[in-house]
A = this chain, B = another copy of it.
Amino acid sequence: MARSIVEILKEALGGEKVLTAKQVLRERRHDTWALSILDDMQGRPAPAPCCVVQPSETADVVAVVNACRENRTPLVPFGLGSGVCGGVRVDSDTVLLDMGNMTRVRLLDKVNLLATFEAGLRGADAETIAARQGLTLGHYPQSIDISTVGGWVATRSAGQFSTAYGNIEDVVVGLEVVLPSGEILVTRQTPRASTGPDLKNIFIGSEGTLGVMTAVTFSLRWKPEKRAVSAYYAPDMDRGFELQQFIIQSGWYPPVMRQYDFMEVKRNFPEQTRDSDALIIMVHEGPNSRVDVEKKACAMLAADMGCDPAPVETVHRWLEERNHVTGFEPLLEKGIIVDTIEVAAPWDRIGLIYKSVIRSLGEVEGIRAASSHSSHCYRSGLNLYFTFAAKPDDRAKMAPIYNECWQRTMEETLAAGGGISHHHGIGRVRREWLSRELGEPGVRLLADLKHTLDPYHIMNPGVLLPHG
């Protein structure tokens, strides 16, 4: 009888790297997608993988990829499982590749401000390692404590300070990727090149479908000389959007600009509510003199716009609590289905998307809350981050109502000219809308790319591509 993939992997890597203990398998069946957690609770648990492999170096990853390719076995890379879109959800024949033991620092270069971390390193640990040298990655997704640097690349992650420092595609200068062929692709770390298409971009956002990220090189910054904060009330969301637009289009880049609607002001800053105002908080960072002039310029633009200063305690509070991630479980256990959905849109669409999504979510059976804030600002537009919570009479309706909330948010966003994801990714939850975002030629191009790199479709099947 043919050997099983588990036996093959044990022989190739040694038994201690190939885990089959029930608890280990159970804990890595899926990411933090609300629907997977709900399925577990409601007696529809996702299957466990056939084994969990924990590589300790790139050669191990090559061995796993080769074994899975030769045996046509699905292979799902796993960071820390903080994704919220169903990017990880296995079948019983899947090999789960847990990158948690690949956490080495391969390079920390204070001259060229480069750092190379293995993909399994937790984001917060990478930042701490940089911080010890007076440096920073400048990339702080809310999940920084519970996600890996490889996961950031796989999902096209955004950082909270992105307005000045950019998103993952702006701070990553190079990648090491094990391709489905077993080849190791190492992109160069020159500051800039015109040597054909920039190949690293094929893998940023590939969600595990095109290969396995094994190391990531970041362009670092020295910690800024100064940090200052400011906050403003806006009489309504539209006025706040306009203020953000004026600030960024005037050439100012406060690393953080976030705008909360009144419902979120009440929830997050209950002591600082004013009338039914929205709230904008900002963090300014950089050389002393630039921070001073930026803060002053933003204050003048706010005054021009009729936005009054708000207590800066709001910003300090956000800075303290910004990496706090609330689990879905406590609410799900109470029969409340909840999730967040981030989208992005040009300036002239953003107000309409805000209004139409909030209105549409309000029509959902059992809806308890529908609110939004913006957190990432660009010259050409803004993101919105919606939160919904619904408690249907019947717990059997939790999953259908969850899907309805997604359906409404995606459809309203697309109808108003927005984009379906700003930074969480596609996973499984957004697959059916991808062709509306990329167009049929775009989806075909992506599928062709997938088929070329991964002809046996072993890499994270079921994710990203609508028909994958």
The residues of A with any CB-CB pair to B shorter than 8 Å are 109, 111-114, 155-158, 167, 169, 173, 179, 183-199, 201-207, 210, 219-222, 224-225, 249-252, 286-287, 289-290, 292-294, 296-297, 344-348, 376, 378-383, 418-426, 430, 434, 437-439, 441-442, 444-446, 448-449, 451-453, 464
Most buried by B among A185, A187, A249, A441: A441
Contact A205 B201 (CB under 8 A): no
Q: Can you identify 21 A-B contacts, CB atoms within 8 angstroms?
A: A112-B347, A179-B441, A185-B445, A188-B437, A190-B381, A191-B383, A193-B437, A194-B423, A196-B434, A196-B438, A196-B464, A197-B449, A201-B202, A219-B379, A221-B249, A222-B250, A251-B287, A252-B290, A287-B297, A290-B297, A449-B452
> Complex: how many Å from CA A433 to CA B386?
49
Contact A111 B297 (CB under 8 A): no
Instruction: Tell me which residues across on chain B come within 8 A of A197, comparing CB atoms.
Output: 201-206, 210, 446, 449
> Complex: how many Å from CA A447 to CA B31?
35
A250 CB contact (under 8 Å) in B287, B294, B419: B287
Instruction: Tell me which residues across on chain B come within 8 A of A109, comparing CB atoms.
Output: 346, 348
A378 CB contact (under 8 Å) in B192, B383, B446, B452: B192
Contact A346 B449 (CB under 8 A): no
In whole Å, how far is A347's beta carbon from the nearest beta carbon of chain B?
A: 5
Contact A158 B192 (CB under 8 A): yes
Contact A114 B380 (CB under 8 A): yes
A426 CB contact (under 8 Å) in B156, B195, B296: B195
Closest to A294 in B: B290
> Complex: how many Å from CA A158 to CA B189?
18
Once A204-B198, A224-B251, A426-B196 are accepted as A-B contacts, the answer to whether A112 and B381 lie under 8 Å apart by CB is: yes
Closest A-B pairs by Cβ, 3 of them: A190-B419, A191-B381, A201-B201
A289 CB contact (under 8 Å) in B188, B189, B297, B419: B297
> Complex: how many Å from CA A155 to CA B173?
19
Contact B418 A190 (CB under 8 A): yes
> Complex: how many Å from CA A345 to CA B383?
35
Once A290-B294, A348-B112 are accepted as A-B contacts, the answer to whether A439 and B186 lie under 8 Å apart by CB is: yes
Contact A419 B188 (CB under 8 A): yes
Contact A438 B199 (CB under 8 A): yes
Contact A191 B438 (CB under 8 A): no
In whole Å, how far is A215's beta carbon from the nearest beta carbon of chain B?
A: 14
A192 CB contact (under 8 Å) in B155, B344, B448: B344
A193 CB contact (under 8 Å) in B112, B201, B344: B344
Instruction: Tell me which residues across on chain B come within 8 A of A378, comparing CB atoms.
Output: 191-192, 219
> Complex: how many Å from CA A460 to CA B122?
44
> Complex: how many Å from CA A221 to CA B253?
13
Closest to A444 in B: B183
Once A173-B380, A191-B380, A249-B222 are accepted as A-B contacts, the answer to whether A196 and B205 lie under 8 Å apart by CB is: yes
> Complex: how many Å from CA A188 to CA B414?
12
Contact A192 B383 (CB under 8 A): yes
Closest to A156 in B: B194
In whole Å, how far is A73's beta carbon from the nearest beta carbon of chain B?
A: 23
Instruction: Tell me which residues across on chain B come within 8 A of A196, comparing CB atoms.
Output: 205-207, 426, 434, 438, 446, 464
Most buried by B among A195, A202, A224, A464: A195
Most buried by B among A193, A199, A220, A294: A193
A438 CB contact (under 8 Å) in B195, B225, B376: B195
> Complex: how many Å from CA A210 to CA B453?
17
Instruction: Tell me which residues across on chain B come within 8 A of A173, comparing CB atoms.
Output: 380
> Complex: how many Å from CA A449 to CA B224?
41
Given contacts A188-B419, A289-B297, 7 further A-B contacts (CB under 8 A): A111-B346, A156-B193, A183-B444, A191-B346, A192-B376, A197-B203, A445-B453
> Complex: how many Å from CA A417 to CA B369?
56
Most buried by B among A109, A207, A249: A249
Contact A420 B195 (CB under 8 A): yes
Instruction: Tell me which residues across on chain B come within 8 A of A344, comparing CB atoms.
Output: 190-193
Once A113-B249, A222-B251, A251-B287 are accepted as A-B contacts, the answer to whether A167 and B192 lie under 8 Å apart by CB is: yes
In whole Å, how far is A413's beta carbon from the nearest beta carbon of chain B?
A: 10
A425 CB contact (under 8 Å) in B184, B192, B194, B293: B194
> Complex: how many Å from CA A252 to CA B253?
13
